[in-house]
Chain A
């Protein structure tokens, strides 16, 4: 078997509310291999968002180790983690999080700005990715001129701009109608089969879970299957 892309060992996360310690994750062991399409399911409050935050380097485990691409991230400082996050992880959010004062092209190129990419490189990559998601004609528009489905496709293009090792999607279709939802899921399926991209998606919808290559259930901070 190849080396896992993501490897969590004995990861716990405890939040502190005043004097009260609230454990959210209890000893998570999880390995995700390159090319996997994993779907994370669980009730709200089960800890799946916390797990996603840890996977996405937005949060750190209270205990346990996290190896990303073989590198122990618990040893890295905040700047190094930010840089690693920008290079290796693409985020897709339920509420898109596009910046309205920037054009579609600039939104797609935004992660590249923090990697020091030239204007020409950003333009070339944004054009390529917008063509991929079928929005070439929207290049110079603003996010608020687009429909929800279009916005999410822009967000996916943005997540792909730095050629990430893994795409993390948190309820990416939660705000979309059925047709738009299907289009997003088709796009994910294509990224999985054609590009061999590693995908981790949080969802409530069992129908979406069926398309994945692997289903991870989480209940009360523990992986149950």
Chain B
């Protein structure tokens, strides 16, 4: 019998009992569905990690201030002044590969001329190169210039959302004046919007959407005299590539510890490390999902096998008749094998639909990043066909071995 004809006949056979076919398929649907969902979620997580790393500056080593408990603060200040501009020169000289260092400090400032809730605002005193190092494009106007620092100009860059909400149109913010504490500042630039998720990273790029970036020197002179402890929150050391961030961390940590009199009041975060941690977590999650998928596929396959075995008994006359009109054993074997495989492949296709629907629904509800993994379609298809062949083989071989005389008598 030709292959296309055999396929058509198998379809016809499966259509004769749609309810049974559907119930038999279910195991496969869920098995393959979980494979597809797993892959979409895995792929999404993978992309999120890369996006994050990208967003926080893939080639930056970040050094954050680590809060020191109040009880220890008294002892600490004797030895350390926290992260400070005084650290920059030494880091630049002693950490190999450092190209430039950006820094910032979040300030508790009020913007009294804006009708926006203060907690929402993220005012930062920043170095002139911060927008470059943190990869923040300027959408309107200009970046902060070296001369803004030299002359302590009262200028400010606004985040996209802040500019939009305060002035309707981000572009309209240019040239506007803002009253920050007791001084008037001119808006000279607006940042492009950032959408990447940050999660637990030190640099969530979204916080810049509501940011006011003020030249560090201006802020120190006009708004907020540098405190005795903790002049800076964050240093970002730019190195040539992502791979250089780990060596930079290993070099920078002892340098800073020495500078801070042995006090661990800082924390160095290399994107490379976070990438590895996230991937380890993801690998564990994948393992669990693979186990679930394997069990579902096993159960689905056994369901298919069970139905095919029941089928043989029900269709024993058909087997006998087909043998009588010239079917070889291999024709019977192929027929049953094809039916089992077709059953699994249909289940697999439905599973692909279900898996995608499920992962998109989950993603919409819990804000999980997912991605449409095209390879998962092929893999799911291959898996379901394989399950069909494996679990269809035993019934098919049994059907092929049946003696045609006994089959025709219906024993």
B326 touches A85 (CB 8 A): yes
When the two chains form their complex, are residues B16 and A114 in contact, meaning their CB atoms are under 8 A apart? no
Q: Is the CB of B16 within 8 A of A85?
A: no
Kindly identify, within residues 303 to 346 of chain B, every residue whose CB is under 8 Å from any CB belonging to chain A.
317-318, 320-331
Asked if A99 and B324 sit within 8 Å, CB to CB, the answer is no
Cβ B405 vs Cβ A82 within 8 A: no
**Bound form: Cα–Cα A82–B330 in Å:** 10
- Asked whether B13 is an interface residue with its Cβ less than 8 Å from the other chain, the reply is yes
Contact A102 B320 (CB under 8 A): no
For chain B, residues 376 to 411, give those with C-beta under 8 angstroms from any C-beta of chain A.
404-405, 408
Q: Most chain-A Cβ atoms within 10 A of its Cβ — which of B317, B320, B323, B328?
A: B328
Determine, out of A2-10, A86-94, A181-189, the stretch whose residues face the partner at the interface. A86-94
Interface majority SS (helix, strand, loop, mixed), chain B: helix
Contact assessment for A110 and B405 in the assembled complex, using a CB-CB cutoff below 8 Å: no
Q: Which residue of B lies closest to A84 (CB)?
A: B326
Contact of B317 among A79, A97, A158 (CB under 8 A): A97
A195 at the B interface (CB under 8 A) = no
Whether A101 contacts B404 by the Cβ 8 Å rule is no
> Are A113 and B1 closer than 8 Å at their CB atoms?
yes
Task: Please report which residues of chain A, range 73-123, place their CB below 8 angstroms from some CB of chain B when the two chains form the complex.
Answer: 78-79, 82-83, 85-87, 91, 93, 95, 97, 99-102, 110-111, 113-116, 119
Q: How far is the CB of A114 from chain B (nearest CB, A)?
A: 4
| Complex interface: chain A residues within 8 A of B324 (CB) | 56, 58, 85, 91, 97
For window 171-203 of chain A, which residues contact chain B by CB distance below 8 Å? none
Point out the residues of chain A lying under 8 angstroms from B9, CB to CB: 102
Chain B, Cβ-Cβ closest to A161: B325
List of B residues within 8 angstroms of A85 by Cβ: 324-326
Interface residue tally for chain A (C-beta within 8 Å): 28
The reply to whether the CB of A128 lies closer than 8 angstroms to some CB of chain B is no
Knowing A86-B326, A114-B331 are in contact, say whether A99-B1 is a contact too (CB < 8 A).
no
Are A114's CB and B325's CB within 8 A? yes
Instruction: Answer whether residue A162 sits at the interface, using C-beta atoms and an 8 A cutoff.
Output: yes
B115 within 8 A of A: no
Q: Chain A: which residue is nearest B326 at the CB level?
A: A86
A58 and B325 contacting across the interface, CB-CB below 8 Å: no
* Chain A residues whose C-beta falls within 8 Å of the C-beta of B16 in the assembled complex: 100-101
Beyond A97-B320, A97-B321, whether A115 also contacts B326 by CB under 8 A is yes
Contacts of B318 in A (CB 8 A): 99
What's the minimum C-beta distance from A69 to chain B, rounded to whole angstroms?
A: 16
A82 touches B326 (CB 8 A): yes
Task: Write out the residue numbers on chain A whose beta carbons fall within 8 Å of the beta carbon of B323.
Answer: 58, 82
B12 within 8 A of A: yes
Residue pair A58, B405 in contact (C-beta under 8 Å): yes
Is B78 in contact with chain A by the CB < 8 A criterion? no
* Complexed CA–CA distance, A114 and B5 (Å): 11
Contact between chains at B328 and A82 (CB < 8 Å)? yes
A59 pairs with B405, CB closer than 8 A = yes
How many angstroms from the CA of A20 to the CA of B195 in the assembled complex?
Answer: 85
Cα of A158 to Cα of B404 in the assembled complex, Å: 18
Q: Take A97-B317, A97-B321, A101-B16 as given contacts and tell me if A114 and B326 are in contact as well, using a CB distance cutoff of 8 Å.
A: yes
Contacts of B325 in A (CB 8 A): 85-86, 91, 110-111, 114, 158, 162
Q: Does A53 sit at the interface, judged by CB under 8 A?
A: yes
Provide the bound-state CA to CA distance between A86 and B327, in Å: 7
Quick check: B327 and A53 within 8 Å, CB to CB?
Answer: no
Q: Is the CB of A101 within 8 A of B13?
A: yes
Check B328–A79 contact: CB distance below 8 A: yes
Q: Which residues of B contact A93 (CB under 8 A)?
A: 408
Tell me which residues across on chain B come within 8 A of A114, comparing CB atoms: 1, 322, 325-328, 331
* Closest Cβ–Cβ distance, residue A16 to chain B (whole Å): 13
Q: Which A residues lie within 8 Å of B281 (CB)?
A: none
Is B147 interfacial (CB-CB < 8 Å)?
no
Contacts of B329 in A (CB 8 A): 78-79, 82
A59–chain B nearest beta-carbon distance, Å:
6
**Per-position contact with A for B1-41: 1 when CB-CB < 8 Å, else 0?**
11001000100110110000000000000000000000000
CA distance A102 to B214 in the complex (A): 81
CB neighbours of B320 from chain A (8 A): 97
Interface residues in A128-154 by Cβ distance below 8 A to B read none
B408 lies within 8 A of A87 (CB) = no
The CA-CA distance from A7 to B326 in the complex, in Å, is: 21
Contacts A97-B317, A97-B320, A113-B5 given; does A83 touch B12 at CB 8 Å: no
Task: Please report the C-alpha to C-alpha distance between residue A158 and residue B326 in the assembled complex, in whole angstroms.
Answer: 12
Q: Which of A47-70 contact B (CB under 8 A)?
A: 53, 56, 58-59
Query: Which residue of chain A is the closest to B6 with respect to CB atoms?
Result: A113
A91 cross-chain contacts in B, Cβ below 8 A: 324-325
Residue on B nearest A80 in the bound complex, by CB: B328
CB of A116 within 8 A of CB of B2, answer yes
CB-based contact B326/A111 at 8 Å: yes
A/B interface sample: 11 pairs, CB < 8 A: A56-B324, A58-B405, A79-B328, A82-B328, A83-B328, A91-B324, A97-B408, A113-B2, A114-B322, A114-B325, A162-B325
What would 11 more interface pairs be, CB under 8 Å, given A82-B327, A85-B326? Answer: A58-B323, A78-B329, A79-B329, A83-B328, A85-B324, A97-B320, A111-B326, A113-B1, A119-B5, A158-B325, A162-B326
Nearest 9 CB-CB pairs, A to B? A86-B326, A111-B325, A114-B326, A82-B328, A101-B16, A97-B321, A79-B328, A113-B1, A91-B324
